Amino acid sequence: MHVPLILLAENDLAYVWHQATPEAKVIIVVLLFFSIFAWSTMAHKAIQMRRARRLNHFFEAEFKNQQHVLEVYDRQVQVSDCPLFMVYEEGCRELDVHLKKREKESARKQYVSLKAIEHVKRILESAVARESLRLESGLILLAIAVSGAPFLGLLGTVWGVMSTFSGIAMKGKADLAAMAPGVSAALVTTVAGLLVAIPSMFGYNWLVHNLRVATVQLDNFAQELISKIETEYLKEE
């Protein structure tokens, strides 16, 4: 019972595609590429954010268990896909520079000045912004798909309806048999635009929510890190 329905749908799509104007076919092909890019972006960003969230969880647990701020840094651990670690590494590298008495000297001072702490704060803020931008990269493609696909579909529909009515006016014959093929072929571009925009909208909103959560987590971690640095390395007056 399902096979005839599938065959009927395939026949309908083939007929509509055959009746579509060249402009409508171009718009449908463009929307197809939009859909491929949108789904690829959603899959890539979902995997990236899932991996970042998992690595953040492991690193945060390791960070809370260390006794000194620079303990993980001194072990020369490298976790390139972990946003929290990238922020931590940037801050510790800057702190390490201020703790060294002279260039190329391995011994560290016990304390640093308030000015040095301010430098570390700025480096941490820059690192948080950079990691947020890295996680956000690619979302513009989804935003374009969400906002642009319906308008492309509408353009194809209006163009197709205009062509249909122009053909009817030239023929001087206005009946359902003459109008239906052109109108149905025109409407399929709107359907194609919505099929691209709706999944992209859900994916974009989900990714933006996860990005905001990740950004807040980065900000909180940077505040916690600078507090520990001040407690351990800022000399009380």
Domain boundaries, the chain: 2-233
Closest CA to 74 of 99, 90, 96, 59: 96
Report the C-alpha gap between 181 and 97 in whole angstroms. Answer: 73
Q: Say what the pTM is.
A: 0.78
Report which secondary-structure segment, H or E, holds 168.
Answer: helix 139-171
52 with 86: CB under 8 angstroms? Answer: no
158 with 164: CB under 8 angstroms? Answer: no
Q: Give rounded-to-5 percent helix, strand, coil for the chain.
A: 85, 0, 15
Number of Cβ within 10 Å of residue 233's Cβ equals: 22
Backbone region of residue 19 per phi and psi (left: phi > 0; alpha: psi in -120 to 50; beta: other values): alpha
For 123-160, letters b (16+ CB in 10 Å) and e give: bbeebbeebbeebeebbebbeebbebbbebbebbbebb
Report the C-alpha gap between 222 and 73 in whole angstroms. Answer: 15
Crossing angle for the helix pair 83-99 and 114-136, nearest 10 degrees?
160
Report which secondary-structure segment, H or E, holds 107.
Answer: none
Per-residue pLDDT of the chain (237 residues; tens, 9 = 90+): 444 544 345 556 666 666 667 777 888 888 889 899 999 999 999 999 999 999 999 988 888 888 888 888 888 878 878 999 999 999 988 888 888 765 555 677 777 888 888 989 999 999 999 999 998 888 888 898 898 999 988 888 888 777 777 777 776 666 666 566 667 777 888 888 899 999 999 999 999 999 999 999 999 999 999 999 888 877 765
* DSSP helix/strand/coil, 42: helix
